[in-house]
Structure 1
Amino acid sequence: MGGKDTEAVAAHIEKATNVTDDAAERGRLIQEQERQLSLWATVKLHPRAVLACSVAFAAGAMFGYDQISNGSTIAMPAFMMYYGDHNESGLYLPSIWTSLWTSMTSLLQAVGAICVGMISDRFGRKWPGVMAGILSIVGTVVLYYAKSRGALLAGKMVCGLALGAGMAIGTTYASEVAPLKLRVPIQTILVVFIVFMQGLAMGIVRIFVPNTDEQAFRNVFAIQWAVGGIFAVTCLFAPESPVYLINSGRVDAAEKVMKKLYSSKFSIDDRLAYLVKTISEEQEQQRISAGSYLDCLRGSNLKRTLTVMFLYSTANLGGAAFLSQSIYFLLTLGLPSVHIFDISIGGFALAIIVILLTGFIGKFLSRRRMLLMGCLINLAFLVVIGCLYYASGMGPSWAIAVLMNILISIQTSLMQAVGWPIAAEISSYRLRVKSLSIGVFAQTLSTWVMTFTVPYMYNVDSGDLGARTAFPFAGITVLLVIGAYFLVPDTTGLSTEEIDRLYEDKVSPRRFSSFVTHDVPRVAE
């Protein structure tokens, strides 16, 4: 960052921090009071803030639909007839193209997430989000009209760029505008939106499976125009993030936005003062005026960044790339395509139910414990799936199909739905957009590596491991259990200021749950 840029940001922060300590303290007490409200009471108190979080839900819908349309269309008979090759066993897709179609989408998602982190610091969250939605529409046009394998790859890459940017913007925006009490539920609902759109996309693909005309898979692509457009429109009508406005020195604009988002029952001026004070303290702790990606790797932020990367990558490293290609993989086992899609649709419906049950269980178990439990269950399932390779007959193949779809539910609910909210909470305000962009980058980079590798592991023209493909992921899951135990904290009920202090004091993440906040009088609901 140049000297002039640093001086400009320093001037912004100096202007933003022109608030009284008394007002900031009253703002802290407001947050402490709201911490004790029920979820429903918080929703009723701040309905417009909840509505603004639809930016994240729209991003999740776009991401979820593309994941399935990108991964499942390759198993459609019409797609295989148009882009596939023949051998003595029948139609198949060359491993190199299967790998490129799935992995390059993920690689460009990583690029999009990193680029939007820098862009959104300069231009905010709103307009980069709009551009990500428009870019998704452009990529869909290329997909729809693609005649060659290379053109199809180009369309998938453009869509991947849009998805990475959209998810980084959506998760960051929601973490910045959501009331403290709702941050975790909103991140959980985001995962529900992703899974719902995955199930919807799977149902749409299932409708077109019997149709062997090329228009069948092109119709699946065409629907992406709608989800990309919805995200663009949602960002267009959403207010700008108050955190971005404060960081850019536009405190008056931040105040206007906060008056739109939050209830006037408590002082907006005090709430603003506390937010400004928190951001300015983060600046002082780092002794620099503006956050950069390098700052995410300095001091206590290094552990926070590594934890964010870990949480965003657990599912991929634990076999999600293998599970995401389950339809095509199960075709190689000789199972009928229509029934494979039926099982997959049921798997996504089960995932939504399990996620909602996880929210209920979360009242009794910490998110840290649920993540550890999810990793252990994941390990057990992968070992069983791998062992079924050695059983003969079609029965084991059907068992593999069922287990893989149940495991999708477990990974989604006990790894993603539990881990992503923690990742959104542990980064500082000043570095949040960059930290979460790095998290999305790690998620998409791990997806790229795994999705490129997996087809070479199980495909008939390569490794031909079959169900034994689960064994390497079982070994990686052992490492995930160790990482989750030592890296992941329980942040339930902790504010960003408190999390900042715990990391600065070098408190072990395993002991965050023993942190006790200052007691404040309980407010009437």
Structure 2
Amino acid sequence: MGTGVATARAGSGEDIINAERQLSVLQNAKRHWRALLIASVAFSAGIVFAYDTVTNGASISMPSFLLYFGEIGPTGPYLPSIWTSLWTAMSSLTQALGAILVGFVSDRYGRKWPSCGAAVLTLVGAAMQYVAVPRATLMGGKMISGLGIGAVMATATTYIGEVSPLKLRPPLQTCFVVFVLLTQGLALGVIRIFVPDIREQAFRTVIAIQWAVGGLAVITWAVAPESPIYLIKKGKIEAARKVMHKICGPNNPDERLGYEIQAIRAEQELEMNNNATYASCLQGHNRKRALTNVYFLITAGLEADYSFDIGIGGFGLARISRRNVVLLGLVVNLLFMVIIGALYWVLNKGALWAIAVLMNLLISIQAAFLKGAGGPIAAEIPSYALRAKTLSIGICAQTFTTWLFNFITLYMYNVDSRNLGARTGFIYAGTSVFLLAGAWFLVPDTTGMTTEEIDRAYELELAPRRFQKQALPFVDRHVLKISLA
């Protein structure tokens, strides 16, 4: 595709994208049903993650598992705490490692085959767990599975953003989260079927189901098209054109391709970032983008019962300022945590009921406010060149902090440790203050903005609260380069 033709088509592509901004989410979904189907490939990564997460926690509570891997004490069989901690912790840590490593691999080999390979790793890990006799072998299997899960989750988040149209990205990212939570609920139901069975085969069957889950991910990624953004970055324009025709069908694929080509080339020239590295994520204005991404992706561990609330929060994002939603969610969290902490000194059963109600209500609210708004922002913030690595950093931070906070909270709350009880709410009220400050200075309102417009806002070093007001429409980046010189 010649430079002149690409520029002309880029202008036309920009007009098409701007016109689609005026359409509703439903109208865009009808127009881009092919893109929806292709982006849904990433949901298979969510299934793998969800089932493994539930299996990791629920299987060790099964009587059959306890009888096989446990020890006999004065009061009956029990699992040594060191092993229960290691099985959970090492899986989370290798997920973090997998997320970081796939950043190198996906920039070199694309999104499709690294995801497929990561899914194969989960099959290998499940096989080790299935045949495990010593506890160490079981841990090794969980670590291998964790490596694959971290990798496929990081790539899946990137893939959704690169194959879906602008107006559909927030709903798709929200659907991804909902899909994970619904799968976790389904997995709990499946495991519950095997709980009464005390035979060894009961817990091994629960583990074996991971082969079906991982196998689905292998197949879906194997038949999925490669990311057109990756192909453009590698100079494989003809391959990118074919993929764009699959994604867009009759909806002006060549014009959209020209738009993406011009945007990516201009970004590479402006930042001289053809060989993106993890160090690049922490340099210049990319540092703020990476920190913002990490800020959102460390939010994890929501209960499956509240997936409906995430849906409510996510599908309203096209019309509501995401930044304001996040700030409001943090203020609500701060107030609730202070109230919960204060209820520690109210010594009656009513206070216990109040704490229970407030905690459940807070989970539901934060599912809609922070998870519903935060996921799309985290996926949209990175530049084209650093998207894979930035999201890898975010997923790594998410898995690590999930493990860390689970450990710290139990230590603070439990009777045999610090015994803070409901006063733990004051600790999290304090973290809410820090998060609120971070949100004010880091979190922009990217509602309805393209990657190019977000790039421009960061390049102009706009305050996050002024992204919508001062970010100019996308024009030729060479003009911007001259104006900034």
What is the rounded CA distance, in whole Å, between the counterparts of 2:74 and 2:454 in structure 1? 60
Q: Which residue of 1 aligns with 2:433?
A: 478
Paired AA for residue 291 in structure 1: A
> What is the correspondence of 1:247-258 to structure 2 with a 5 Å cutoff?
247-258=233-244
Superposition deviation, residue 33 in structure 1: 1.3
**In the alignment, is the contact (CA less than 8 A) between 1:107 and 1:445 conserved in 2?**
yes
Please tell me whether residue 149 in structure 1 is matched to residue 135 in structure 2: yes
**In the alignment, is the contact (CA less than 8 A) between 1:105 and 1:448 conserved in 2?**
no
Superposition deviation, residue 144 in structure 1: 2.2
The change in CA–CA distance for 1:286 and 1:126 in structure 2 (over 3 A counts) is same
Please tell me whether residue 226 in structure 1 is matched to residue 182 in structure 2: no
**In the alignment, is the contact (CA less than 8 A) between 1:354 and 1:413 conserved in 2?**
yes
Please tell me whether residue 298 in structure 1 is matched to residue 283 in structure 2: yes
Q: Name the TM-score, length of structure 2 as normaliser.
A: 0.89
Show structure 2 runs of 5+ residues with no match: 475-485
Deviation sequence 1:301-333 (CA, Å, 0-9, x none): 1110110011111x25xxx4xxx7xxxxxxxxx
What is the rounded CA distance, in whole Å, between the counterparts of 1:434 and 1:170 in structure 2? 13
Q: Which residue of 2 aligns with 1:449?
A: 404
Identify which of 9, 14, 20 aligns with 1:34.
20
Q: Which residue of 1 aligns with 2:323?
A: 368
The Cα RMSD (Å) is: 2.8
> What is the correspondence of 1:242-391 to structure 2 with a 5 Å cutoff?
242-266=228-252, 268-313=253-298, 315-316=299-300, 320=301, 348-349=304-305, 351-359=306-314, 361-362=316-317, 365-383=320-338, 386=341
Superposition deviation, residue 31 in structure 1: 1.2
What is the rounded CA distance, in whole Å, between the counterparts of 2:128 and 2:423 in structure 1? 36
Q: Which residue of 1 aligns with 2:373?
A: 418
Q: Which residue of 2 aligns with 1:215?
A: 201
Superposition deviation, residue 265 in structure 1: 3.5
For the residue of structure 1 that corresponds to 2:275, the secondary structure is: coil
Superposition deviation, residue 404 in structure 1: 4.8
- Highest relative contact order (Cα 8 Å, sep 6+), 1 or 2? 1
Q: Which residue of 1 aligns with 2:455?
A: 500
What is the rounded CA distance, in whole Å, between the counterparts of 2:122 and 2:330 in structure 1? 33
What is the rounded CA distance, in whole Å, between the counterparts of 2:349 and 2:132 in structure 1? 37
Superposition deviation, residue 425 in structure 1: 0.6
For the residue of structure 1 that corresponds to 2:462, the secondary structure is: coil
Q: Which residue of 1 aligns with 2:480?
A: none
What is the rounded CA distance, in whole Å, between the counterparts of 1:214 and 1:458 in structure 2? 34
Superposition deviation, residue 215 in structure 1: 3.5
Paired AA for residue 280 in structure 1: R
Answer with 477-486 or 205-214: which moved more.
Answer: 205-214
The change in CA–CA distance for 1:200 and 1:20 in structure 2 (over 3 A counts) is closer
Superposition deviation, residue 163 in structure 1: 1.0
**In the alignment, is the contact (CA less than 8 A) between 1:133 and 1:228 conserved in 2?**
yes
Please tell me whether residue 192 in structure 1 is matched to residue 178 in structure 2: yes
**In the alignment, is the contact (CA less than 8 A) between 2:119 and 2:217 conserved in 1?**
yes
Please tell me whether residue 490 in structure 1 is matched to residue 439 in structure 2: no
**In the alignment, is the contact (CA less than 8 A) between 2:457 and 2:471 conserved in 1?**
no
Identical columns (%): 51
Superposition deviation, residue 491 in structure 1: 0.5
**In the alignment, is the contact (CA less than 8 A) between 2:326 and 2:369 conserved in 1?**
yes
The change in CA–CA distance for 1:415 and 1:71 in structure 2 (over 3 A counts) is farther
Identify which of 166, 170, 183 aligns with 2:152.
166
Paired AA for residue 362 in structure 1: L
**In the alignment, is the contact (CA less than 8 A) between 2:318 and 2:448 conserved in 1?**
no
Please tell me whether residue 206 in structure 1 is matched to residue 161 in structure 2: no
**In the alignment, is the contact (CA less than 8 A) between 2:96 and 2:395 conserved in 1?**
yes
Paired AA for residue 348 in structure 1: A
The change in CA–CA distance for 1:423 and 1:406 in structure 2 (over 3 A counts) is same
Q: Which residue of 2 aligns with 1:237?
A: 223
What is the rounded CA distance, in whole Å, between the counterparts of 1:403 and 1:219 in structure 2? 38
Q: Which residue of 1 aligns with 2:393?
A: 438
What is the rounded CA distance, in whole Å, between the counterparts of 1:30 and 1:229 in structure 2? 38
Superposition deviation, residue 84 in structure 1: 4.2
Superposition deviation, residue 123 in structure 1: 1.0
Deviation sequence 1:421-468 (CA, Å, 0-9, x none): 101111111111111111111111212322344444455665555555
What is the rounded CA distance, in whole Å, between the counterparts of 2:24 and 2:398 in structure 1? 32
Show structure 1 runs of 5+ residues with no match: 1-14, 325-346, 520-525
Deviation sequence 1:76-116 (CA, Å, 0-9, x none): 34444444456677665444333322222111111111111
Deviation sequence 1:491-510 (CA, Å, 0-9, x none): 01101111100000000111
Answer with 71-80 or 442-451: which moved more.
Answer: 71-80
Paired AA for residue 438 in structure 1: I
The change in CA–CA distance for 1:454 and 1:505 in structure 2 (over 3 A counts) is same
What is the rounded CA distance, in whole Å, between the counterparts of 2:127 and 2:409 in structure 1? 28
Superposition deviation, residue 54 in structure 1: 1.4
The change in CA–CA distance for 1:212 and 1:24 in structure 2 (over 3 A counts) is same
